[in-house]
Amino acid sequence: MKTCLIVIDAQESFRHRPYFRPDDVPAYLAAQNALIGNCVAAGVPVVRVFHVDAPAEASNPFAEESGLVRPIAGLVDFAADATFVKHRHSALVGSGLEVWLTRHGIGRLIVSGIRTEQCCETTTRHASDLGWEVDYVLEATLTFDMTQPDGRPLAAADIKARTATVLQGRFATVCSVDEALARAGALATA
């Protein structure tokens, strides 16, 4: 089955949000870069998606005017097979990605990027509902601590565990970098 790696919102914008914490970034980048490098080497298409939203002014880190809608520092440099801009949580809404995937005969998606429970999970659910097989690589996603409605903290690790639980077997196969690469035929052998 033809597979495509989707790198969602791995952009510098997040470093300029008040919730950003650098603690988990090195592990995320190691996993994300391993996916990208192995997919590129094996000829598996890699698609980049950026998130852009209003207001269109320099003070908004998700506006093009900010200059921050660019790859996050530490992400391996790669030539994307296609790049899309989205304005919604799902990378499949209004971006042209759905058309591109269909035209290229893609049957399986490897989902990675930022944020675990937001754009990555939403894209996964949407893709599954549209009929794609999805490999969700939890270790190649990044999120941040949140505050629950009752004011209690919710750790990023707990958010990731919850996302894995609700996606596994319903919307995706939650897998490691190596498992996703093996399923795509892109695992480098030493």
Q: Is the pLDDT of residue 73 over 70?
A: yes
Q: What is the mean pLDDT of residues 34-48?
A: 97
- Strand ranges across the sheet with 133-142: 82-86, 46-51, 3-8, 108-114, 133-142, 173-175
Kindly state the tokens that stand for 69.
């809608």
Strand pairing class (133-142; 108-114): parallel
Distance, in Å, from the CA atom of 174 to the CA atom of 14, rounded to the nearest integer, reads 24
> Would you place residue 187 in the very low, low, confident or very high pLDDT band (cuts 50, 70, 90)?
confident
pLDDT, position 190: 41
**Per-residue CA distances from 107 to 103, 115, 135, 181, 182 (Å):** 11, 23, 11, 15, 15
pLDDT of residue 76: 98
pLDDT for the residue numbered 186: 83
Taking 70 as the threshold, does the pLDDT of residue 63 lie above it?
yes
What is the pTM assigned to this prediction?
0.96
pLDDT of residue 175: 97
pLDDT in tens, 136-169: 999 999 999 999 999 999 999 999 999 999 999 9
Asked if 78 and 36 touch (Cβ cutoff 8 Å), the reply is: yes
What mean pLDDT is predicted for residues 170-176?
A: 98
> How far, in Å, CA of 36 to CA of 103, rounded?
22
In whole angstroms, what is the distance from residue 86 CA to residue 169 CA? 27
Residues forming beta bridges with residue 51, ordered by sequence position: 86
CA distance 120 to 32: 13
Q: What is the model's pLDDT at position 43?
A: 96
Q: What is the mean pLDDT of the chain?
A: 97
Inter-residue contact 124 to 90 (CB < 8 Å): no
In whole angstroms, give the CA distance from residue 77 to residue 61.
Answer: 21
Beta carbons within 10 angstroms of residue 141's beta carbon: 29
% of the chain surpassing 90 pLDDT:
96
Domains of the chain (ranges; CATH) run 3-184 (3.40.50.850)
Give the model confidence (pLDDT) of 85-107 as tens digits: 999 999 999 999 999 999 999 99
